[in-house]
């Protein structure tokens, strides 16, 4: 999701030097994979095909502006694939990419030299944030304070157990989104930690309540659930209802 790595290579003017290099076709295919995974996989298979397998294809299928209707062969397949990637990623979208670049220009100053010093992966991380959130990442952005106004210590331990062992990578990202409204973890962390507070309900009925989240302030209110299993089930239910567009109380 978000801006692809090729966009950043374009913004820094390094796309021909780092992406579309005939000696490194897989760099071009890797960039294409973010735009069209199926096509990238199909073209990657051609790199190891013999002439008999390539005989039914012609080079104009990859870039009709650059190539005539001539046979695809082992001798020209690498150059052809790289040119096809360039057509798909750059030439067919050049107008839109140029407009985007103008939006990145700061007070008419060309930032190409500054951006070129950074790998596209770093620029992606700065803009996208971390979309692969580890248990440690999530644990670090939660305030585990056990002071007088904080969450019951046992429920806090249930929550920590959920983060550390009860969720896969997708589940941790969903929990981050549920707590904060963010689709990724900013590269420099959250502006403030996620705070866990007790939800004031009748203790005898606590297990029947869903948690409440205030995404503007990153505050999560949790009932004093009776067990880890109950907390996990209630939180997963709350995240499911978030995905469905309603259900738990989100501010």
Q: Is the pTM of this model over 0.75?
A: no
Write out the chain's pLDDT in tens, 251 residues.
Answer: 445 788 888 888 889 999 999 999 999 999 999 899 999 999 999 999 999 999 899 999 999 999 999 999 999 999 999 999 999 999 999 999 988 888 777 667 666 766 777 777 776 766 678 888 999 999 999 998 756 666 778 889 999 999 999 999 999 999 999 999 998 888 888 889 999 999 988 989 999 999 999 999 999 999 999 999 999 999 999 999 888 875 444 34
Burial of 213 (0-12, 13-18, 19+ CB in 10 A): buried
d(CA 151, CA 190): 20
């Amino acid at each position: 999701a978000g801006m692809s790595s090729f966009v950043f290579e374009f913004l820094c003017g390094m796309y021909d030097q780092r992406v579309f290099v005939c000696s490194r076709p897989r760099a071009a295919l890797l960039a294409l994979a973010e735009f069209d995974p199926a096509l990238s996989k199909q073209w990657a298979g051609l790199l190891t095909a013999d002439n008999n397998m390539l005989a039914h294809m012609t080079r104009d299928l990859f870039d009709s502006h650059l190539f005539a209707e001539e046979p695809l062969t082992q001798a020209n397949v690498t150059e052809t694939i790289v040119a096809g990637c360039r057509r798909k990623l750059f030439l067919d979208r050049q107008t839109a990419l140029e407009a985007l670049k103008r939006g990145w220009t700061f007070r008419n100053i060309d930032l190409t030299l500054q951006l070129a010093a950074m790998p596209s992966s770093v620029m992606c991380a700065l803009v996208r944030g971390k979309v692969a959130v580890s248990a440690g990442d999530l644990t670090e952005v939660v305030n585990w304070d056990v002071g007088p106004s904080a969450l019951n210590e046992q429920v806090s331990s249930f929550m920590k157990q959920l983060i550390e062992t009860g969720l896969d990578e997708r589940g941790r990202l969903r929990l981050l989104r549920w707590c904060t409204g963010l689709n990724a973890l900013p590269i420099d962390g959250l502006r403030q930690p996620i705070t866990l507070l007790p939800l004031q309900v009748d203790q005898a009925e606590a297990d029947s309540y869903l948690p409440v989240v205030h995404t503007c302030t990153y505050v999560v209110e949790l009932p004093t659930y009776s067990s880890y299993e109950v907390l996990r089930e209630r939180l997963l239910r709350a995240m499911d209802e978030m995905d469905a567009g309603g259900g738990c109380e989100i501010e």
